[in-house]
Structures are given as structure tokens and as C-alpha cells.
A and B are shown apart, each in its own frame.
Chain A
Amino acid sequence: MQKRLLAFGLILFLNSAHADDTITTHSTSGLKTWKQTGKGISVEIIQLSPEAAEATYSSRDLSSLIYESMRGYCVFGSVVRNESDTALTYHVVDWRVVGSDGRERPLRTKSQWVADWKSKGVNFGWSILPDDITLEVGDWSLGYTPIKLAPGERFNLIYVWRIHGKLFTNTLQNLSCPAAPS
């Protein structure tokens, strides 16, 4: 098992893709957007104020059911684009967050959120980034990515994708959850 994990890690290391990173800061809110483009994919993580994320749900009378389940999570906007000339696949279950404690942990996927909400009689899975998808040429997906983080906490996001079955990985570094309002 350990050997298989080491082999998987080695494959990921060898296929670590070169990428261009950009950071933009919203002129009035100060909220940041991180974008990384390389090896046929772009991944964009957008800071949201807790109020903005909550408003999406509260305006649909879903606040108490959904937003309560997100307590303790920092909600980001996320966009994944196929920038290549062929199909690519990603599974959020393969992605990892490295928090300020240096430990890797998985993200809670859309399927997990939807299963939780459906058990409470709510159907609003659309809001979460599709977690298991093939993006054809020109396709892109978007949605919220809630990550368990403290306000202001910094983290890295390791994401993984496949093109023609070949595994690639990259890391968006030094992202952060917006600080709590003072």
C-alpha cells in the first residue's frame, strides 16, 4: 500500500505542470482571486465575503438549512476551464487542501454536500463546483467550493486532472480565507 502511495506521489511529482499564476484584488472589496493556467487547464479560486455566499441561499429561503451546514467552512467561488484542444477530466475527490498546520486533507465534494442536503429535503446542489466531470474543448465548470478553514487562514490547493488518462497536478499556493470582519 505504502509503495502504491509512493508511486502515486512520484507520478504526481513528475507530472507537476508548469503554470502561470495571477492574483487580482477587487478594487473596492479587497477580495482576491487566484488563477493558475497551465497544461491545458485553468483553475480560478475567488474569495467571497461570508455575506455574499449566504445571500445566494437566503434569497431562496434556503439559508437555515444550507448555510448552517456550511458553518466552519470558508466558501470560495471556483472556475475550472478546459484550455486544451482535447477533453480533460477532474475529480474533486483527488484534490487536497494543505492548511496552516501543514496537513493535507480532502475537500468535501459536491456529491457529499448534495447527499447531506437531500437528506434534509433540499435540492440546491447546483451551487457547488461539479466534482466528477469531463470538460470537452471549450467547456468550463463553476460553483462554490467550501473549505473548512478559519477566517484569515492561509492554505495551498493541490488539484489533479487527467488528459488522455495521463495524470497531472498543480498547486495554487498561499491562498487565504477572507479575514473575519472587524
Chain B
Amino acid sequence: MENYLPILYKIYLALLRQVSLVVIVLMPALALAQSPAPTIPVKTDLTYTLTAVNPRTPAKDFSLIDLDSKIRHLSDYRGKVVLLNFWGSWCPPCRREMPSMERLYQALKSEPFIVLAINQSESLDLVFAFTGEIDPTPTFPMLLDSKGEVSSQWNVLGLPMSFIIDKSGHVAYRAMGGREFDHPDIQNKLRALLAE
């Protein structure tokens, strides 16, 4: 058996070389050959920029009911940073960004921060059913702007549209279109506002 050991070792080394060749050279080539023809998919990524509002403008107060029929006023949240989001369940980016809003809400749970998501012109039943489909389920207040009066007051041109309000009740940032709200860039901006 001992006589065979050098031979076995040589075979082992030879096999190792073959395997290395396959792993280092052939596998990427095979992978390239087997991958489907390159396609440019429809860009569905949420972005993570916020546009600074300079100078900051006073946030217009409103009173809307939430899903428990409790009246909430924006002015109740003075002293907190507010993410105000206008959305509709039919709007794909609104659906896509909602989980990131909940993750952000959880990440800043210990801070004076609140998310207020204002639904546009849909029924309580529809909004309630929709929130059950979102993972993680939103735990922040959902408000109903059934006649679109608040969105009109806020000059919301399309959905989704979001505003960040500072602790003194001024609009500091805005964003049109879906965002990944728990992205570090956005979190950094919010933490800077929280530190003001």
C-alpha cells in the first residue's frame, strides 16, 4: 500500500489541477455560456434621494381620521420629525416603499420620529385589507384623505409623494416617486434632523 501512496498523491494532485482548471477557468465560461441573453429589466428599484426644501416652509396643518376613526392633527406631532407620505393602494411604488417605511419607523422607534401615511380617496376597508398584505405590517398611523383635500392643500402632484417635516414643523425635504426609506442616506438625513 505504501508503494502506491506516491502514485495516489500524484493522481490526487492531477485531479486537483483539473478541478482548479474547471473552477477557475471553465466555470465562469460555462456560466456565461449558460446565462440567458442579457436583457435590461424594467427598472423597479426605489431611489433614495431627498430634495432639500430651501428655505424650509411651514407645514400646513390638517385633521384626518385614522383606521380607528381617531382624529389626528399634524400639529399634534410638533417636536417630532415626521415622514408624511401620500399613497394609494393601486400605485405600485407606493406598495413597494411601504415596508421600508415600517423598517425606518422601527429603526427610529426610540427617537422623536413618526410616519404618517395618508391614503388618497380609498375606503377604510380597502386600506385595511391592503395593510394586511404588507410585510412587515405597517404599525404607524394610516390616515384617510377621502376627498383628496389634504393632498390638494399640500400640492401633491402624483403618488407616491413624501415630505419630511422637522421638529419645528417646517418642511425640510420632499420626494416624488417611490423611495427606499430605510436606506442609510435617508436615515442619515433624518438623524441630522433629529439632532437639530
Residue with the greatest number of chain A CB neighbours at <10 A, chosen from B42, B92, B120? B42
User: Which residues of A are found within 8 Å of B50, using beta-carbon distances?
Assistant: 138
The reply on A93 being an interface residue by CB < 8 A is no
CB–CB A60/B148 < 8 A: no
- Distance in angstroms between the alpha carbons of A141 and B179 in the assembled complex: 12
Interface size class of B (residues with CB under 8 A): 20 to 34
Q: A133 an interface residue at 8 Å Cβ cutoff? A: yes
Contact between A130 and B147, CB atoms less than 8 A apart: no
For residue A135, CB closer than 8 A to chain B, the reply is yes
**Chain B residue at minimum C-beta to C-beta distance from A140:** B177
Measured between C-beta atoms, what is the minimum distance from A171 to chain B in Å? 19
Does B176 lie within 8 Å of A141, measured CB to CB? yes
Q: Is A126 a contact of B147 with CB atoms below 8 Å?
A: no
A102 to B82, CA, bound (A): 51
Complexed CA–CA distance, A143 and B178 (Å) = 13
**Residue numbers in B under 8 Å from A81 (CB-CB):** 43, 177
Interface pairs (27), CB distance under 8 Å: A22-B39, A24-B42, A35-B40, A56-B90, A60-B122, A60-B123, A123-B121, A123-B148, A124-B121, A125-B148, A126-B159, A129-B158, A130-B158, A133-B157, A133-B176, A135-B177, A136-B174, A137-B51, A138-B47, A138-B48, A139-B51, A139-B177, A141-B158, A141-B176, A142-B91, A142-B158, A142-B177
Query: Which B residues fall within an 8 A CB radius of A?
Result: 39-43, 47-51, 88, 90-93, 120-123, 126, 147-148, 157-159, 174-179
